[in-house]
A and B are shown apart, each in its own frame.
Chain A
Amino acid sequence: MFNYTVRRLVVAVPTLLFISLIIFLLLDLAPGDPMAQMPLTVPPEVKQKMREALGLGEPIHVRYLLWLKQFFLVEPLHIFDSLLGTDLAGDAQRIISWQTRSPVADIIAQRLPQTLWVVGLAYLVGVLIALPIGIISAYRQYSVFDQAGTFVSMIGYSVPPFFSGVLVIVIFSVKLQWFPSVYDTTHNVVDWDSFVHQLRQMIMPVMVLALQTTAQISRFMRASMLDNLNQDYVRTARAKGMTEPTVVLVHVLRNSMIPVVTVIALGVPTIFGGAIITEQVFKVNGIGQLLITAIYANDIPMVQTLAFIFAVLIVLFNLIADVLYGVLDPRIRYE
């Protein structure tokens, strides 16, 4: 298993380089223009000058190599500098966003807390609710609990967040006035009151996002549990006189986790990716909002960097999932 992990990590480097190239080509090919959001009153000649100032006049391979150098050399050096107070990066140009003309990495660092608070917490809550729902639904298949769980999770999944988000705002912010409808990203938690305020402003986006996660994971959990509950080894275990909780929660659960682990691992990188629509609806302005505004504004350095970090996380978490398969089912071997 260790050898396998090391080999996968080695293979990951060319894979990621290839992915970064594909993303770069894709963004370059995509129609769109960083000047699209400028008012029409700005004449075309001026727009052309502005494009040149952004470096768009250079050929594509030059721009790609520059990005590689900035991402793999300048930015790490810069992080190193700011941690240790050295000056290794010197005057080297960092990756600059076209919209804000400021280093991309700084903006991402500024956005991460919101996204982790809201999207990360929602994911955690969603998974923690989904697992027991999935297990009980399968164990008591076609019981009232199972039917209700199916009903709620399917509705939860088929109602898109652009609707459910607005619905909870209308109910809880406009009618009941319990929670704020605009998320305050500058809010600092320093004492109990500010913590309560943070909870109040987080509760709606977390609710909306967790509903989606719960729906998805509980369905996979239930289906997988159902498959295993009828297996021969379950009968054997029961025949040996094991208690029901041991049979279900140790033997069946462990064997049912493979698809669930896959889904959870696929979901973790998306936490970093943020939740584009939910962030927009609640004005959370995390990574998701950053990505979508950057895409709309054709801010290629920003989109490229975000997409690439996202790719790294995907490769990493899929590797973790593969390793976990081996832990869950020792018969799985990778040679």
Chain B
Amino acid sequence: MKTRTLLLGTAALLALAPAALAERGSDGHVNIIYWQAPSILNPYLSGGTKDVESSSLIIEPLARYDEKGNLVPYLAQEIPTVGNGGVSADLTSITWKLKEGLVWSDGTAVTSADVVFTGQYCMHPEGGCAQLAKFEGVDKIEAVDDLTVKITFKEPKPNPYLPFTGGQGPVIQKAQFENCLGAKAPECTEANFGPIGTGPFVVTEFRPNDVIQMKANDKYRDPAKPAFATLTFKGGGDAAAAGRAVLETGEYDYAWNLQLAPDVLAGMAKAGKGVPMAAFGSLVERLEMNLTDPSPDLPEGERSTAKHPHPILSDMRVRKALSMAIDRNLLVEIGYGQAGRPTCNLVPAPEIYASDNTDCLVQDVEGAKALLEEAGWTDTNGDGVRDKDGRKLSLLYQTSTNAVRQDFQALIKQWWAEIGVETELKNIDASVFFGGDPGSPDTFQKFYADIEMYANNFDGTDPEPYLSAYTCAKAPRPETQWQGENINRYCNEEYEKVLAELSRTGELEKRGELAAKLNDMVTKESYVVVPLVDRGRVSARSNSLGGVILNTWDSELWNIADWHRIK
């Protein structure tokens, strides 16, 4: 009996504990370090992750994605669906209702006019809004009443949740940004550096590319939150330094995106001041095969265009053999550790969209060799490199400069050497590689190489825009100033048919099936895209920081209002 009372007492204490802690600002100061420093707090003017995530402490969208990829209402009362009448049955409009009694940090009320204004701000033709794609297909946004906003689309939209959700779609205050439309957007430095928001924190000092000081928003809708009175958001340095500051010296409480070698991270974690956490999203490190000929002998303007098919990689057997020779498990072990898992899919998540394709996970060197023999590539002169019709099986393999990618290059080069493929490696500074400068030969879009490696993902949880990259029209070529998302120059009528079907389908299960089919068409059925690693996000928190739930579908700091100090 006595023990039971004791237990009950403890249970009661435990239940009470959060309540006792829950008082705004009672936990003092929290330090966050991002090794990329935020340059602006307006995500509509910069699409950089660092800017989106830092601003997510201050401004909020109507709804966010949680750690499982489900939408949860933030400024909205509930998530509109066809079921509750929020989404029209023909999928051409969505109606959001704001929570009642919301106020901005300056004390004025949040109304539907602010939401409508945010839409105008981003859709202004001269504004250069980074999140414009979220508003694609939007016909009009109108305020039905003070708390109700209706978004009408030009045509049925199976995924109507793009505008005003997630870290990239926060609502900004009309009163503050009214004079910042279009070309005037960059002139509003004060607003861009200190937006008035509804989030748990407000900016007290912003030093671009360096540090942000914040304090708790005393108008925040939950009177008990946030637990921290002040916050420092430091930027700069590199991932190793950020990891060290949390895991080894304990100077900081939270470090973002620790892209470090697994043994280095484990070594840091041994110091015992904090823990690394991992979560997976849709980021996939992959090899992209060039289906067109990048030979420097071709005249400029014809290199890497559909005019000349690739002399080696046009044969699917070669592409498949290259994929079979790779041991993805070892790549994960060496490069990512807990932050990676081998994958054969372009769309690895969410579950309903992911294909069950796993046949690439086992390395098969002999199979790869046999396949190359079958394709007519044999080593006629005994130099260890296969050839056919006087042409050596030799490939140029490029990627951006990054320690893990260079390790991958070295390993893959060796595996390919085993099956008789000679590889020349090249690495390019990331700001050039991922830049779209049409004058540079080294951009990933121009693809003046046979194979290239990088990682890509999609926003939110719907892969449709991501899969629609692989259409003939989106191939980068001189006429498009070398812009375009179809890096491989993949062109398949059947694929485009299925894609069109996907864009007409609203039913979730059917969408999942179609997406998986598209995924399989570019991966296991053609090996145009050769996925390697499903890359998670690793961030670290100090032992005393509680309430952190790592989320890859939205800003990592999505639930910062719930963070608290463990005592």
Q: Do A and B share a direct contact in the complex (Cβ within 8 angstroms)?
A: yes
B457 at the interface (CB under 8 A from A): yes
Give the chain B neighbours of A285 by CB distance below 8 A. 37, 207, 209-211, 235-236
Chain B residues within an 8 Å CB radius of A297: 39, 431
B459 near A180: Cβ-Cβ < 8 Å: no
B544 touches A (CB below 8 Å): no
In the complex, the answer to whether A99 meets B46 with C-beta atoms within 8 Å is yes
Q: Provide the bound-state CA to CA distance between A282 and B432, in Å.
A: 26
Query: Min CB distance, B296 to chain A, in Å?
Result: 17
Which of A37, A93, A169 has a CB less than 8 Å from the CB of B244?
A169
**What residue of chain A has the Cβ atom nearest to residue B454's Cβ?**
A40
CA distance A268 to B133 in the complex (A): 48
Q: Mark A181-195, 1 if CB is under 8 A from B, else 0.
A: 110011000000000
CB distance from B551 to the nearest CB of A (A): 16
Q: B431's contact among A32, A96, A186, A289, by CB below 8 Å, is which?
A: A32
Once A37-B48, A293-B209 are accepted as A-B contacts, the answer to whether A182 and B234 lie under 8 Å apart by CB is: yes
Please tell me if A211 contacts chain B, counting CB pairs below 8 Å.
no
Report whether A42 and B133 are in contact in the complex, using a CB–CB cutoff of 8 Å: yes
Stretch at the interface among A43-51, A246-254, A321-329: A43-51
A181 touches B209 (CB 8 A): no
B362 within 8 Å of A (CB atoms): no
Docked pose: A186 CA to B437 CA in angstroms: 37
Q: Identify which of B39, B432, B459 contacts A36 (C-beta below 8 A).
A: B432
Does A280 touch B at the CB level, under 8 Å?
Answer: yes
User: Could you say which of B186-194, B377-385, B488-496, B503-511 contacts chain A?
Assistant: B186-194
Chain A residues whose CB sits within 8 angstroms of the CB of B209 once the complex forms: 99-100, 107, 285, 289-290, 293
Answer whether residue B245 sits at the interface, using C-beta atoms and an 8 A cutoff. Answer: yes
Q: Given that A33-B437, A46-B132, A285-B209 are contacting pairs, would A99 and B456 also be in contact in the complex, using a CB cutoff of 8 Å? A: no
CA distance A56 to B456 in the complex (A): 26
A262-291 CB contacts (< 8 Å) to partner B: 280-281, 283, 285, 289-290
B484 interface hit (Cβ, 8 Å): yes
Assess whether A96 is in contact with B46, with CB atoms less than 8 Å apart. no
**What residues of chain B lie closer than 8 Å to A52, measured between beta carbons?**
128
CB distance from A99 to the nearest CB of B (A): 4
Residues of A within 8 A of B133 (CB): 42-43, 46
Tell yes or no: A73 within 8 A of B by CB.
Answer: no
Residues in chain A near residue B127, CB distance under 8 A? 53
- Do A31 and B437 contact each other (CB < 8 Å), given the known contacts A36-B432, A186-B205, A283-B236? yes
Minimum distance in angstroms from A200 CB to a CB of chain B? 12
Contact A44:B485 (CB < 8 A) given known A99-B208, A283-B234, A283-B236: yes
Contact in complex: B128, A54 (CB < 8 Å): yes
The answer to whether the Cβ of A101 comes within 8 Å of any Cβ in the partner chain is yes
Complex interface residues of chain B between 54 and 109 (CB less than 8 A to chain A):
none
- In Å, the complex CA distance between A169 and B436 comes to 38
B565, chain A: closest CB distance, angstroms = 20
- Which of under 10, 10 to 19, 20 to 34, or 35 or more describes the interface residues of B? 35 or more
Q: Mark B473-500, 1 if CB is under 8 A from A, else 0.
A: 0000000110111000000000000000
Cβ–Cβ contact B210 & A280, under 8 A: no
Partner of A35, one of B436, B439, B466: B436
Chain B residue nearest to A50 (CB atoms) is B128
A304 touches B (CB below 8 Å): no
Once the chains bind, are A32 and B432 in contact (CB under 8 Å)? Answer: yes
Contacts of B434 in A (CB 8 A): 36-37, 40
> Which residues of B sit under 8 angstroms from A186, Cβ to Cβ?
205, 207, 211, 213, 232
Interface check B554, CB cutoff 8 A: no
Q: Determine if A3 is an interface residue (Cβ-Cβ < 8 Å).
A: no
* Stretch among B246-254, B311-319, B326-334, B521-529 lining the A interface: B246-254
A102-151 contacts to B (CB < 8 Å): 102-103, 106-107, 110-111
Tell me which residues from 290 to 306 in chain A have a Cβ below 8 Å from any Cβ of chain B.
Answer: 290, 293, 295-298
* Residues B208 and A281 in contact, CB atoms below 8 Å apart: no
Contact at A182–B245, with CB atoms within 8 Å?
yes
Q: Which residue of B lies closest to A162 (CB)?
A: B238
A39 to B459, CA, bound (A): 10
With A186-B205, A293-B209, A297-B431 already in contact, the answer to whether A280 and B238 are too (CB < 8 A) is yes
Contact of A102 among B192, B210, B459 (CB under 8 A): B192
Establish whether residues B189 and A177, one from each chain, have CB atoms under 8 Å apart when the complex forms. Answer: no
User: Given B49, B237, B483, which contacts A48 in the complex, CB threshold below 8 Å?
Assistant: B483
A177 touching B249, Cβ below 8 Å:
yes
| Cβ of A84 under 8 Å from chain B | no
Whether a CB of chain B sits under 8 angstroms from the CB of A174 is: yes
Query: Quick one: which of A39, A281, A289, A295 has the most chain B CB within 10 A?
Result: A39
| CB-contacts of A144-187 with B (<8 A) | 166, 169, 173-174, 177, 180-182, 185-186
Which residue on B lies nearest to A107, using beta carbons?
B208
List B102-151 residues whose CB lies under 8 Å from chain A: 125-133
Query: Which residues of A are found within 8 Å of B456, using beta-carbon distances?
Result: 40-41
Residues of B within 8 A of A296 (CB): 430-431
Complex contacts, B7 vs chain A, CB 8 Å: none
Smallest CB gap from A28: residue in B: B439
How far, in Å, is B542 (CB) from chain A's closest CB? Answer: 14
Q: Which of chain A's residues have a CB closer than 8 A to the CB of B42? A: 101
Contact of A43 among B37, B433, B485 (CB under 8 A): B485
- Give complex CA distance A93, B208 in Å: 20
Distance of A52 Cα from B442 Cα, bound (Å)? 22
Most chain B CB neighbours (cut-off 10 Å) among A31, A107, A289, A290: A31
Determine which residue in A49, A100, A280, A283 has the highest number of CB atoms from chain B within 10 A of its CB, and name it.
A100
Cβ of A275 to closest chain B Cβ, rounded Å: 13
A50 touches B130 (CB 8 A): yes
Q: Does B47 contact A (CB under 8 A)?
A: yes
Residues of A within 8 A of B396 (CB): none
Q: Considering the chains assembled together, what is the distance between the CA atoms of A293 and B39 in angstroms? A: 10
Residue of A nearest to B235 (CB): A285
Q: Which residues of B contact A239 (CB under 8 A)?
A: none
Q: Hey, which chain A residues are within 8 Å of B207, CB to CB?
A: 110, 185-186, 285
Is B376 an interface position by the 8 A CB rule? Answer: no
**Which one of B39, B193, B245, B436 lies within 8 Å of A181 (CB-CB)?**
B245
Q: How far does the alpha carbon of A159 sit from the alpha carbon of B235 in the complex, in Å?
A: 26
Q: Check if A35 sits within 8 Å of B435, measured CB to CB.
A: yes
How many angstroms between the C-alpha atoms of A8 and B516 in the bound complex? 72
CB-CB nearest in chain B for A173: B249
CB–CB A101/B430 < 8 A: no
A38 within 8 A of B: yes
| Shortest Cβ gap from B555 to chain A (Å) | 13
Which residue from A31, A40, A280 sits with its C-beta under 8 Å from B432? A31
Tell me how far the C-beta of B410 lies from the nearest C-beta in chain A, rounded to whole angstroms: 22
Q: Cβ of B530: which chain A residues have Cβ within 8 Å of it? A: none
B249 contact from A110, A181, A283, Cβ within 8 A: A181
Q: Within the assembled complex, what's the spacing in Å between the Cα atoms of A46 and B186?
A: 17
16 additional contacts (CB under 8 A) given A39-B459, A43-B465: A31-B435, A32-B440, A41-B456, A46-B130, A49-B125, A96-B187, A99-B46, A169-B244, A177-B249, A180-B251, A181-B241, A182-B234, A185-B207, A186-B213, A289-B236, A296-B431
Q: Give me 27 A-to-B residue pairs in the complex whose CB atoms sit less than 8 angstroms apart, sorted by A's number.
A: A31-B432, A35-B435, A35-B436, A37-B431, A38-B47, A38-B48, A39-B49, A41-B458, A43-B485, A46-B130, A53-B183, A102-B186, A102-B192, A102-B193, A102-B208, A106-B189, A180-B251, A181-B244, A181-B251, A182-B241, A185-B211, A186-B205, A280-B236, A281-B237, A283-B241, A285-B236, A296-B431
Mark B residues whose CB is within 8 Å of A: 33, 37, 39-40, 42, 45-49, 125-133, 183, 185-187, 189, 192-193, 205, 207-211, 213, 232, 234-238, 240-241, 244-245, 248-249, 251-252, 271, 430-437, 439-440, 442-443, 445, 454, 456-459, 465-466, 480-481, 483-485
Closest 7 CB pairs of A and B: A53-B128, A31-B440, A33-B435, A36-B435, A101-B186, A44-B483, A50-B128
